[in-house]
């Protein structure tokens, strides 16, 4: 369930901001479009009381360490020690535009040049994450904003994992967090130690497939259980025989096959390599 806060309560707690409107909440955060005293547009996110302090610290570390136009910027953060206080919050840059989710809909096929241009920008953001040894772990259309100029911005680092830091728990469990529709096989079947930057590349491959074919490679509305989706993602190759896939240029087919490999070792080495391929494809 998304964490929501009544806007009137938020206004009372944050008189220093002018509230414009609520934004789409997540399970961990209520979000608002606000302006500061200087008139700067910002995104104020109020943290749910149940959100782990260690996880928030990780998210903040991830955002602070990256300076890239394709990754959202952190402006300010505070974590109150008072239980239930609404002043557990972060302030991020406000990204004008809309979520990719609104544009990546069933039956909508993007021009290949647009696909190459847009997703090479996503790859540039993922490359910035990898340089800081950060895995997003919940890359999906709802976590990518599309600016009015058409460029992408990766947002919401609530599930990010810093590979150079100790794990939040001492157990091997924890791989299966995120959004199953965009899971890699290792998120269904592995442990968190199996997750690395190639996990984000699998999610990228799913979104590329959707943009190029107008349908999901694995998910079907007829699926009623997580187990059905897991079976499709981990063991099915039906997505490689769909007419919409077979109608693509062979070079696009090759890229999608590599990104959607069940074995991480068979996927591209990194997002920078994928960006280069996309830029070549976009130039054709």
Q: Which residues are catalytic?
A: 138
Residue 23 bridge partners (DSSP): 31
Q: Which residue has the tokens 């991480």?
A: 264
Cα 56 from Cα 19, distance rounded (Å): 24
The two structure tokens encoding residue 66: 């990256």
Q: 210 CB contacts (<8 Å, ≥6 apart)? A: 104, 141, 216, 217
Residue 226 and residue 180 in contact, taking contact as beta carbons nearer than 8 Å: yes
Q: How far is CA 114 from CA 151, 273, 279, in A?
A: 10, 18, 11
In degrees rounded to 5, what are phi and psi of residue 186? Answer: -65, -20
Give the Cβ contact number of residue 78 at 10 Å: 11
């Amino acid at each position: 369930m998304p964490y929501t806060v009544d806007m009137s309560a938020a206004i009372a707690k944050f008189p220093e901001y002018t509230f414009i409107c609520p934004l789409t909440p997540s399970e961990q955060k209520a979000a608002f479009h606000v302006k500061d005293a200087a008139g700067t547009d910002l995104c104020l996110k109020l943290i749910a009381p149940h959100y782990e302090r260690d996880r928030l610290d990780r998210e903040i570390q991830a955002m602070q360490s990256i300076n890239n136009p394709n990754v959202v910027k952190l402006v300010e953060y505070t974590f109150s020690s008072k239980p239930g206080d609404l002043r557990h919050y972060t302030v991020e840059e406000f990204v004008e535009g809309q979520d990719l989710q609104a544009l990546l809909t069933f039956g909508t096929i993007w021009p290949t040049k647009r696909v190459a241009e847009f997703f090479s920008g996503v790859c540039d953001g993922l490359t910035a994450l990898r340089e800081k040894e950060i895995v997003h772990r919940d890359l999906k259309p709802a976590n990518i904003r599309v600016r009015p100029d058409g460029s992408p911005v990766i947002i919401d680092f609530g599930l990010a994992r810093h590979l150079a830091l100790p794990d939040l728990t001492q157990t091997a469990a924890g791989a299966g967090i995120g959004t199953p529709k965009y899971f890699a096989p290792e998120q269904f079947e592995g442990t968190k130690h199996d997750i690395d930057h190639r996990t984000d590349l699998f999610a990228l491959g799913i979104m590329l497939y959707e943009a190029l074919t107008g349908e999901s490679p694995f998910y079907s509305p007829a699926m009623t259980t997580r187990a059905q989706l897991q079976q499709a993602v981990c063991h099915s190759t039906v997505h490689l025989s769909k007419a919409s896939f077979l109608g693509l240029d062979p070079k696009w087919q090759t890229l999608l096959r590599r990104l959607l490999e069940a074995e991480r070792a068979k996927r591209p080495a990194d997002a920078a390599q994928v960006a280069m391929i996309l830029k070549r494809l976009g130039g054709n």
